Amino acid sequence: MQSITPSNIDLKSLMRTASPPGLGMNHHRFGPSRVLIQCISRFDSANVNANASAASGGHVGGARYEWQSSCAILASKVVSQQPDKEKNGGIADGMTAVNGHPTLDLVPVKEAKSPAALPKPLSIADLSPAPMHGSLLRVAYQGVPGAYSEAAAGKAYPNCEAIPCDQFEVAFQAVELWIADRAVLPVENSLGGSIHRNYDLLLRHRLHIVGEVQLPVHHCLLALPGVRKEYLTRVISHPQALSQCEHTLTKMGLNVAREAVDDTAGAAEYIAMNNLRDTAAIASARAAELYGLQILADGIQDDSGNVTRFVMLAREPIIPRTDRPFKTSIVFAHDKGTSVLFKVLSAFAFRNISLTKIESRPHRNRPIRLVDDANVGTAKHFEYMFYIDFEASMAEVRAQNALAEVQEFTSFLRVLGSYPMDMTPWDCPSRAQE
């Protein structure tokens, strides 16, 4: 058996020469740098003495171990690749097993993966944003099915999955915790005014306004089937709905108790579940259909031009544009109180930017400001946060310059969102025109 030491290994000459007697050496070349080397030792009892004496002076075992050790060193310098026939479980031609065991591969070769199992690169479709039409979006709203907020969510995002929430703050948290993708919440009504709770929550949470939707409100008086108006002793609904129908209820002769609940559709559900035959609810026609109630009176709002404005909230803002009408909402405050309000309004008036809303809310962290005067004593002033909506996109230079000037006069300024205006036409004539 021929002995090979690391010092005299020559890969090229070894690949060209034949294997020593009694040893099988098979190699497979796949390319300039990919070679598989397999070493098999055969034990020939007939020629063992002669081969042993010629190769190593009678030390058969020692020469064999030296040969395997040299092959291992040689194989460590070569990139091994499993040949095709070895992948099929066969043994190379001209090779036998060692002591009845399968062929010994000095370097284990892993089976290559099929192209279908490899990861695919990202395409432009993988990077595209969520569909603007609302398909497959989860939208949170306050109330139960049949609420006006559910209708607003469906108008803002058709084909969306509407998620009801029992409180306004739960809807905010649903988006922040990735339970929902969007939230649609009311902020003002043409008859009832602003919904202050949501203005406070806009400041408390870090969601962004990404759109608005205006929904005409059509109130109905609902009761259980067979109940007449003369049998009613109370009317329940959301406080805004009660205030929007106050005069109409009086004209109908319903001098009954009026109780506020969390939402309009919830009032209808409460009557149906408790079988209250002396109670009516102010809600939508869809709520009557969902909860099996009859409509005693249709269109009972005091003004048929009753519209509620909803805002659409998301975790990330949208990119403002200039190719369509945009609206921007901000909130600000100042250490010196309301005296700075005139300067702020002048920044918009100077640039011909129209304001669509201005709302003041108490400054919760510092509701009262004390002013000491040596002549008149100490004066107490209320501190306010101011919410402003104006018709301009943050992509416009005039809006950027206006906010840069506003920032000089205020101690706190935050952009709640710059978003497309709802330009959907709707026809709600007032009662004066009817």
Per-residue pLDDT of the chain (434 residues; tens, 9 = 90+): 444 444 455 544 444 444 444 444 444 444 444 444 444 444 444 444 444 444 444 444 455 556 566 655 555 555 444 444 444 444 444 444 444 545 444 445 455 555 555 565 554 454 444 445 545 899 999 999 999 999 999 999 998 999 999 899 999 999 999 999 999 999 998 888 899 999 999 999 999 999 999 999 999 999 999 999 988 999 999 988 998 899 999 999 888 999 999 889 999 999 999 999 999 999 999 999 999 999 999 999 988 888 999 999 999 999 999 999 999 999 998 876 566 788 899 999 999 999 999 998 887 665 455 444 555 544 555 678 899 999 999 999 999 999 999 999 888 899 999 999 998 876 654 443 44
**Every domain of the chain and the residues it spans:** 6-110, 220-300, 318-426
Nearest-angstrom CA–CA distance, 386 and 402: 16
The answer to whether residue 310 is catalytic is: yes
∠ CA(234), CA(239), CA(245), 5° rounding?
A: 70
Helices (H) and strands (E) in the chain, counts: 13, 19
Which amino acid would we find at residue 233?
T
- 168, 310, 326, 332: the catalytic one is 310
| Strands 307-314 and 377-382, bridge-based pairing | unpaired
Ramachandran category for residue 292: left, alpha or beta (phi over 0 → left; psi -120 to 50 → alpha):
left
Q: Are 385 and 203 in contact (CB under 8 A)?
A: yes
Q: How far apart are CA 303 and CA 309, in angstroms?
A: 16
Residues 6+ apart with CB under 8 A from 158: 133, 134, 135
The overall longest dimension of the chain from CA atoms, in Å, is 127
Torsion of CA 141, 142, 148, 150, to 10 degrees: 30
Tokens coding 414: 């935050």
Report yes or no: 71 and 38 within 8 Å, Cβ to Cβ: no
How far is residue 378's CA from residue 317's CA, in Å, rounded to a whole number? 44
Query: Annotated catalytic residue: which of 248, 264, 279, 308?
Result: 308
Q: Where are the alpha helices (DSSP H) in 148-237?
A: 148-156, 168-176, 196-204
Are 111 and 82 contacting, i.e. CB atoms less than 8 angstroms apart? yes
∠ CA 58-64-66, nearest 5°, is 105
At 114 the three-state DSSP class reads coil
Q: Does domain 318-426 have CATH number 3.30.70.260?
A: yes
Report pLDDT for 111: 57
CA distance 6 to 167: 79
pLDDT value, residue 28: 46
Q: Which CATH superfamily is domain 220-300 in?
A: Periplasmic binding protein-like II (3.40.190.10)
| Neighbour-count burial for 143-163, b at 16+ CB within 10 Å, e otherwise | bbebbbbbbbbbbbbeebebb
Pairing of β 23-31 and β 34-41: antiparallel
The secondary element (H helix, E strand) that includes residue 373 is strand 368-373
